[in-house]
Protein backbone atom coordinates (compact mmCIF):
# COMPACT_ATOMS: atom_id res chain seq x y z
CA UNK A 1 0.00 0.00 0.00
CA UNK A 2 1.33 3.42 -0.97
CA UNK A 3 1.01 6.61 1.07
CA UNK A 4 2.48 10.12 0.90
CA UNK A 5 5.57 10.37 3.14
CA UNK A 6 4.37 13.65 4.63
CA UNK A 7 1.02 12.31 5.83
CA UNK A 8 0.58 12.11 9.59
CA UNK A 9 -2.38 9.79 10.23
CA UNK A 10 -5.05 10.34 12.86
CA UNK A 11 -6.60 7.41 14.68
CA UNK A 12 -9.24 5.80 12.46
CA UNK A 13 -12.43 4.97 14.29
CA UNK A 14 -14.72 4.25 11.35
CA UNK A 15 -14.41 2.94 7.80
CA UNK A 16 -16.97 3.89 5.17
CA UNK A 17 -17.06 2.14 1.81
CA UNK A 18 -18.37 3.25 -1.52
CA UNK A 19 -20.75 0.56 -2.77
CA UNK A 20 -20.82 0.41 -6.56
CA UNK A 21 -17.43 -0.43 -7.96
CA UNK A 22 -15.91 -0.91 -4.50
CA UNK A 23 -17.93 -3.57 -2.68
CA UNK A 24 -20.02 -4.60 -5.68
CA UNK A 25 -18.64 -5.20 -9.17
CA UNK A 26 -20.55 -2.92 -11.53
CA UNK A 27 -18.98 -4.62 -14.54
CA UNK A 28 -20.28 -8.05 -13.55
CA UNK A 29 -23.40 -7.14 -15.54
CA UNK A 30 -21.23 -7.60 -18.60
CA UNK A 31 -21.73 -11.36 -18.45
CA UNK A 32 -25.51 -11.05 -18.67
CA UNK A 33 -25.16 -8.33 -21.29
CA UNK A 34 -22.94 -10.59 -23.40
CA UNK A 35 -25.57 -13.33 -23.33
CA UNK A 36 -28.24 -10.90 -24.51
CA UNK A 37 -26.03 -9.00 -26.95
CA UNK A 38 -23.19 -11.29 -28.10
CA UNK A 39 -20.01 -9.37 -28.82
CA UNK A 40 -21.21 -6.23 -27.03
CA UNK A 41 -21.31 -7.20 -23.34
CA UNK A 42 -18.15 -5.43 -22.22
CA UNK A 43 -18.77 -2.29 -24.24
CA UNK A 44 -22.32 -2.09 -22.93
CA UNK A 45 -21.30 -2.49 -19.29
CA UNK A 46 -18.63 0.22 -19.56
CA UNK A 47 -20.79 2.75 -21.39
CA UNK A 48 -23.73 2.02 -19.07
CA UNK A 49 -21.60 2.78 -16.01
CA UNK A 50 -20.08 5.92 -17.52
CA UNK A 51 -23.48 7.34 -18.44
CA UNK A 52 -24.94 6.45 -15.04
CA UNK A 53 -22.23 8.49 -13.29
CA UNK A 54 -22.53 11.33 -15.79
CA UNK A 55 -26.25 11.54 -15.02
CA UNK A 56 -25.61 11.83 -11.27
CA UNK A 57 -23.54 14.93 -11.92
CA UNK A 58 -26.10 16.42 -14.26
CA UNK A 59 -29.05 16.10 -11.89
CA UNK A 60 -27.04 17.33 -8.90
CA UNK A 61 -25.60 20.48 -10.44
CA UNK A 62 -28.40 21.56 -12.79
CA UNK A 63 -30.83 24.06 -11.27
CA UNK A 64 -29.72 23.27 -7.70
CA UNK A 65 -30.86 19.67 -7.97
CA UNK A 66 -34.34 20.39 -9.29
CA UNK A 67 -33.95 17.48 -11.73
CA UNK A 68 -32.92 14.92 -9.12
CA UNK A 69 -33.93 11.31 -9.78
CA UNK A 70 -33.19 8.24 -7.63
CA UNK A 71 -30.10 6.23 -8.55
CA UNK A 72 -32.23 3.32 -9.73
CA UNK A 73 -33.93 5.56 -12.28
CA UNK A 74 -30.61 6.98 -13.46
CA UNK A 75 -29.26 3.45 -13.80
CA UNK A 76 -32.18 2.56 -16.06
CA UNK A 77 -31.74 5.76 -18.05
CA UNK A 78 -28.04 4.99 -18.48
CA UNK A 79 -28.83 1.52 -19.77
CA UNK A 80 -31.29 2.85 -22.31
CA UNK A 81 -28.83 5.44 -23.56
CA UNK A 82 -25.99 2.92 -23.82
CA UNK A 83 -28.12 0.54 -25.88
CA UNK A 84 -29.18 3.32 -28.23
CA UNK A 85 -25.56 4.47 -28.58
CA UNK A 86 -24.46 0.92 -29.44
CA UNK A 87 -27.51 0.33 -31.68
CA UNK A 88 -28.71 -2.60 -29.54
CA UNK A 89 -32.36 -3.67 -29.46
CA UNK A 90 -33.30 -3.23 -25.80
CA UNK A 91 -36.66 -4.92 -25.48
CA UNK A 92 -38.66 -4.61 -22.27
CA UNK A 93 -37.71 -8.18 -21.35
CA UNK A 94 -33.99 -7.55 -21.91
CA UNK A 95 -34.14 -4.31 -19.96
CA UNK A 96 -35.70 -5.98 -16.96
CA UNK A 97 -33.18 -8.82 -17.04
CA UNK A 98 -30.28 -6.41 -17.00
CA UNK A 99 -31.81 -4.19 -14.32
CA UNK A 100 -32.45 -7.22 -12.15
CA UNK A 101 -28.82 -8.24 -12.66
CA UNK A 102 -27.75 -4.79 -11.48
CA UNK A 103 -29.82 -5.25 -8.35
CA UNK A 104 -27.79 -8.38 -7.55
CA UNK A 105 -24.27 -7.37 -8.62
CA UNK A 106 -21.44 -9.74 -7.78
CA UNK A 107 -19.60 -8.84 -4.58
CA UNK A 108 -15.82 -8.81 -4.50
CA UNK A 109 -14.54 -11.94 -2.75
CA UNK A 110 -12.59 -10.22 0.04
CA UNK A 111 -15.57 -8.17 1.31
CA UNK A 112 -16.66 -10.60 4.02
CA UNK A 113 -13.14 -11.18 5.36
CA UNK A 114 -12.37 -7.46 5.56
CA UNK A 115 -15.64 -6.46 7.22
CA UNK A 116 -15.34 -9.26 9.77
CA UNK A 117 -11.80 -8.16 10.61
CA UNK A 118 -12.88 -4.56 11.06
CA UNK A 119 -15.68 -5.58 13.40
CA UNK A 120 -13.18 -7.66 15.42
CA UNK A 121 -11.12 -4.50 15.91
CA UNK A 122 -14.13 -2.52 17.11
CA UNK A 123 -14.18 -0.26 14.05
CA UNK A 124 -17.46 1.32 13.01
CA UNK A 125 -18.30 0.26 9.45
CA UNK A 126 -20.69 1.51 6.82
CA UNK A 127 -21.54 2.22 3.22
CA UNK A 128 -21.76 5.76 1.86
CA UNK A 129 -23.28 5.47 -1.57
CA UNK A 130 -25.15 7.10 -4.41
CA UNK A 131 -27.45 4.09 -4.37
CA UNK A 132 -30.95 4.56 -3.04
CA UNK A 133 -31.89 2.67 0.15
CA UNK A 134 -33.79 -0.13 -1.58
CA UNK A 135 -30.89 -0.85 -3.92
CA UNK A 136 -28.39 -0.92 -1.07
CA UNK A 137 -30.51 -3.17 1.13
CA UNK A 138 -30.91 -5.73 -1.65
CA UNK A 139 -27.23 -5.61 -2.59
CA UNK A 140 -26.06 -6.06 1.01
CA UNK A 141 -28.48 -8.93 1.62
CA UNK A 142 -27.59 -10.61 -1.68
CA UNK A 143 -23.88 -10.43 -0.79
CA UNK A 144 -24.40 -11.88 2.70
CA UNK A 145 -23.05 -8.77 4.42
CA UNK A 146 -25.96 -8.21 6.78
CA UNK A 147 -24.88 -7.54 10.34
CA UNK A 148 -21.41 -6.39 9.31
CA UNK A 149 -22.30 -2.79 8.47
CA UNK A 150 -23.32 -0.29 11.13
CA UNK A 151 -24.50 2.33 8.64
CA UNK A 152 -26.08 2.24 5.19
CA UNK A 153 -25.85 5.87 4.13
CA UNK A 154 -27.64 6.88 0.95
CA UNK A 155 -27.54 10.29 -0.69
CA UNK A 156 -31.21 9.87 -1.57
CA UNK A 157 -32.28 11.68 1.59
CA UNK A 158 -30.41 14.85 0.63
CA UNK A 159 -31.05 14.54 -3.13
CA UNK A 160 -27.42 15.33 -3.98
CA UNK A 161 -25.02 12.80 -5.42
CA UNK A 162 -21.33 12.42 -4.78
CA UNK A 163 -19.18 14.41 -5.39
CA UNK A 164 -21.25 17.11 -3.65
CA UNK A 165 -19.77 17.92 -0.22
CA UNK A 166 -23.18 17.38 1.40
CA UNK A 167 -23.00 13.74 0.31
CA UNK A 168 -19.68 13.18 2.07
CA UNK A 169 -20.97 15.05 5.12
CA UNK A 170 -23.35 12.15 5.74
CA UNK A 171 -20.44 10.19 7.24
CA UNK A 172 -19.56 12.54 10.10
CA UNK A 173 -23.24 13.22 10.70
CA UNK A 174 -24.06 9.53 11.11
CA UNK A 175 -21.00 8.51 13.11
CA UNK A 176 -20.50 11.60 15.24
CA UNK A 177 -16.84 11.58 14.21
CA UNK A 178 -14.68 14.11 12.43
CA UNK A 179 -13.88 13.39 8.80
CA UNK A 180 -10.18 12.88 9.65
CA UNK A 181 -11.20 10.05 12.01
CA UNK A 182 -12.93 8.21 9.17
CA UNK A 183 -11.35 6.20 6.39
CA UNK A 184 -13.29 6.44 3.15
CA UNK A 185 -12.63 3.61 0.72
CA UNK A 186 -13.43 3.73 -2.98
CA UNK A 187 -12.29 2.07 -6.20
CA UNK A 188 -13.55 5.09 -8.14
CA UNK A 189 -10.76 7.63 -8.50
CA UNK A 190 -13.13 10.59 -8.83
CA UNK A 191 -14.84 9.51 -5.60
CA UNK A 192 -11.54 9.09 -3.74
CA UNK A 193 -10.42 12.51 -4.94
CA UNK A 194 -13.55 14.33 -3.81
CA UNK A 195 -13.53 12.51 -0.48
CA UNK A 196 -9.91 13.59 0.01
CA UNK A 197 -10.90 17.18 -0.67
CA UNK A 198 -13.67 16.80 1.88
CA UNK A 199 -11.19 15.73 4.56
CA UNK A 200 -11.49 11.95 4.88
CA UNK A 201 -8.50 9.64 5.21
CA UNK A 202 -9.01 8.11 1.79
CA UNK A 203 -7.96 4.74 0.45
CA UNK A 204 -8.18 4.45 -3.31
CA UNK A 205 -8.39 0.77 -4.21
CA UNK A 206 -6.84 0.70 -7.66
CA UNK A 207 -8.07 -2.74 -8.76
CA UNK A 208 -7.43 -2.12 -12.44
CA UNK A 209 -4.00 -0.44 -12.26
CA UNK A 210 -5.22 2.88 -13.62
CA UNK A 211 -3.70 6.36 -13.28
CA UNK A 212 -5.22 8.64 -10.66
CA UNK A 213 -7.02 11.86 -11.55
CA UNK A 214 -4.72 14.70 -12.73
CA UNK A 215 -6.13 17.48 -10.54
CA UNK A 216 -3.23 17.98 -8.17
CA UNK A 217 -4.47 16.08 -5.11
CA UNK A 218 -3.52 12.42 -4.56
CA UNK A 219 -5.52 10.05 -2.34
CA UNK A 220 -4.12 9.71 1.17
CA UNK A 221 -3.46 6.01 0.56
CA UNK A 222 -3.50 3.74 -2.49
CA UNK A 223 -4.00 -0.02 -2.46
CA UNK A 224 -4.94 -2.80 -4.84
CA UNK A 225 -7.61 -4.73 -2.88
CA UNK A 226 -9.95 -4.07 0.01
CA UNK A 227 -7.56 -6.01 2.24
CA UNK A 228 -5.33 -2.94 2.26
CA UNK A 229 -7.89 -1.31 4.57
CA UNK A 230 -6.59 -3.54 7.36
CA UNK A 231 -3.08 -2.07 7.01
CA UNK A 232 -4.09 1.58 7.33
CA UNK A 233 -2.00 3.45 9.92
CA UNK A 234 -4.07 4.40 12.95
CA UNK A 235 -6.60 1.59 12.49
CA UNK A 236 -7.62 -0.21 15.68
CA UNK A 237 -5.99 -3.51 16.56
CA UNK A 238 -7.88 -6.73 17.35
CA UNK A 239 -9.27 -6.94 20.88
- Rounded to an integer, the average pLDDT of 145-160 is 95
| Residue 239 confidence (pLDDT) | 45
| Residue 3 confidence (pLDDT) | 57
What is the separation of C-alpha 31 from the centre of its chain, rounded to a whole number of angstroms? 20
Band (pLDDT 50/70/90 cuts) for residue 27 is confident
Q: Report whether pLDDT(223) > 70.
A: yes
- Rounded to an integer, the average pLDDT of 206-228 is 95
What pLDDT digit, counting tens, does each position of 92-107 carry?
A: 999 999 999 998 888 9
| Residue 9 confidence (pLDDT) | 61
| Residue 235 confidence (pLDDT) | 86
- Rounded to an integer, the average pLDDT of 200-217 is 95
Band (pLDDT 50/70/90 cuts) for residue 112 is very high
| Residue 62 confidence (pLDDT) | 85
CATH 3.40.50.1000 fits domain 14-24+106-231 = yes
| Residue 130 confidence (pLDDT) | 96
Q: Report whether pLDDT(42) > 70.
A: yes
| Residue 1 confidence (pLDDT) | 62
CA distance 136 to 70: 12
Q: What mean pLDDT value characterizes the chain?
A: 92
Which segments within the chain are labelled E, that is strand? 14-17, 124-129, 151-154, 182-186, 201-205, 221-223
Q: Report whether pLDDT(200) > 50.
A: yes
18 labelled catalytic: yes
Q: Write down the CATH number for the domain with range 27-103.
A: 1.10.150.240
- Rounded to an integer, the average pLDDT of 181-206 is 97
CA distance 168 to 112: 24
Q: Report whether pLDDT(12) > 60.
A: yes
* Cα-based torsion angle of the residue sequence 232, 114, 186, 61 in order, rounded to the nearest 10 degrees: -120
Domain boundaries, the chain: 14-24+106-231, 27-103
| Residue 6 confidence (pLDDT) | 46
Amino acid sequence: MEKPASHLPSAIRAVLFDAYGTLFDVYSVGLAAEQLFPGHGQALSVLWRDKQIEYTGLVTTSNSGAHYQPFWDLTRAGLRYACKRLALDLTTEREEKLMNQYRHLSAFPENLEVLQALKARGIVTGILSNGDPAMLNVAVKSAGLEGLLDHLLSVDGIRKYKTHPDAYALGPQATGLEARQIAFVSCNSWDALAATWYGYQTLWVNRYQLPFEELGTPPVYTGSTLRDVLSLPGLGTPA
